[in-house]
Amino acid sequence: MEPALELDGVTKVFRTWDGKEFNAVDGVTLRVPRGQLFGFLGPNGAGKTTLLRLIHAFWPPTRGRLRVLGYDPATQGGELKARIGVAPQDNNLDPDFNVRRNLTTYARYFRLPRAEAARRADELLDFVGLKDKRREEIDTLSGGMKRRLVLARSLINEPDLILLDEPTTGLDPQARHLVWDKIRELRRRGTTILLTTHYMEEAELLCDDLVIMDGGKIHVQGRPADLIAKHVGRDVLELAFHPGSTPSVEDLRRLPGAADARIEIHADRAFVYHDDVESIAHQAKARFRLESSLVRRAGLEDVFLRLTGRQLRE
């Protein structure tokens, strides 16, 4: 069976108001098998949303070869969109319609008969836990309910591929976990899911495989656990020093067991990445003026910050 997604050197060039060109997506090559939950991570401006829009035939690529479910989005966009579901970042629901009507009206874009649209709407409202809210107006829903309704809407055409662009942004922990449960259930059904998120915990828990992008390029690809093991190791030691007493990386490497550790210093804090940092923590407490020390398991956020930096992106 052909992959759900094939990209060979895909590039998207935009032109700024003063005539300068920049590559929002820059030579991306990627394969995503069917049935996989695949993540796209990266700081703001990394090219994630642009890439999803290319996949959904919103824009054509400037260069490169792109195939989605075997279709060429540039020439077969209509056929492709009939088989894709999209949950965008914004809750762009129609406030003039109630909850159920938002689904049945959207179903008409796919030329579903009214009876079939009604049946699917009721099934999906039950699936996302909004059956009792079917007659409610959109403005009365909580943020979590709106996100679940957007997810339900993306499934109205029974898609083979779903694009989830930051599906849980702004949700409280309870609502986020409810959305996660629904995404996992779709994955178990064999649906291919492409996910963008700024929540590293979300990507680590949900994704079978993922890429970290920056500057329109893919920097790494792999399973979350493999990326953590390769780029940061098992444990992280966070050291906070008294003002004016932060040591250099070389000073920290002189601690017993720290010679081969990965060490980063940011302001008055040091991050030591190693498979066993307990002894390094003990030695640091004896030698340096510390305000605090913390030993924890490494996570995908450590990989993300190591590869893309800690500077704020606008």
Tell me: the pLDDT tens digits for 229-242?
998 888 899 999 98
Per CATH, the number for 5-223 is: 3.40.50.300
Phi, psi of 147 (to 5 degrees): -65, -40
Q: Using CA atoms, how far apart are residues 263 and 131, in angstroms rounded to an integer?
A: 52
pLDDT band at 310 (very low <50, low <70, confident <90, very high): low
Domain boundaries, the chain: 5-223, 233-298
pLDDT the model gives residue 90: 84
Contact assessment for residue 63 and residue 10, using Cβ atoms and an 8 Å cutoff? yes
Report the mean per-residue pLDDT for the chain. Answer: 91
Rounded to whole angstroms, the Cα distance separating 180 from 63 reads: 35
**Sheet of strand 5-15: strand arrangement:** 21-32, 5-15, 63-68
Instruction: For residue 75, give both structure tokens.
Output: 């020439």
**28 has pLDDT over 70:** yes
For the ranges 146-150, 170-174, 249-253, which has the lowest average pLDDT?
Answer: 170-174
Q: Is the separation of the CB atoms in 236 and 280 below 8 Å?
A: no
Cα 175 from chain centroid (whole Å): 17
pLDDT score, position 262: 86
pLDDT of residue 311: 59
Taking alpha carbons only, the member of 155, 148, 116, 110 closest to residue 132 is 148
Give residue-wise pLDDT tens across range 92-126.
899 999 999 999 999 999 999 999 999 999 999 99
In sequence order, the β-bridge partners of residue 21 are: 15
Q: What is residue 259's predicted lDDT score, i.e. its pLDDT?
A: 87
Mark out the alpha helices in 6-76 (DSSP H runs).
48-55
Q: What is the pLDDT of residues 39-70, one digit of tens each?
A: 999 998 899 989 999 999 999 999 999 999 99
Residue 276 pLDDT grade (very low, low, confident, very high; cuts 50, 70, 90):
confident
Q: How far is the C-alpha of 302 from the C-alpha of 236, rounded, in Å?
A: 9
Looking at residue 135, its pLDDT comes to 95
Task: Give the angle subtended at the CA of 173 by the CAs of 172 and 177, to the nearest 5°.
Answer: 120
Whether domain 233-298 has CATH 3.30.70.980: yes
Phi-psi category of 153—alpha, beta or left, where left has phi over 0 and alpha has psi -120 to 50?
A: alpha
pTM: 0.89
Average pLDDT (308-314) is 62
Burial classification of residue 102, based on how many CB atoms lie within 10 Å of its CB (0-12 exposed, 13-18 middle, 19 or more buried): buried
Q: What is the DSSP string of 67-136?
A: EETTB-TTT-HHHHHTTEEEE-SS----TTSBHHHHHHHHHHTTT--HHHHHHHHHHHHHHTT-GGGTTS
In the predicted model, what is the mean pLDDT of residues 71-77? 93
pLDDT of 111 reads 93
Give the model confidence (pLDDT) of 179-209 as tens digits: 899 999 999 999 999 999 999 999 999 999 9
CA gap 314, 304 in Å, rounded: 17
The terminus-to-terminus CA distance of the chain in angstroms comes to: 41
Could you give the percent of the chain with pLDDT greater than 70?
98
Residue-level pLDDT at 206: 96
Mean pLDDT of 254-270: 87
Residues of the chain above pLDDT 90, percent = 67
Largest pairwise CA distance in the chain:
74
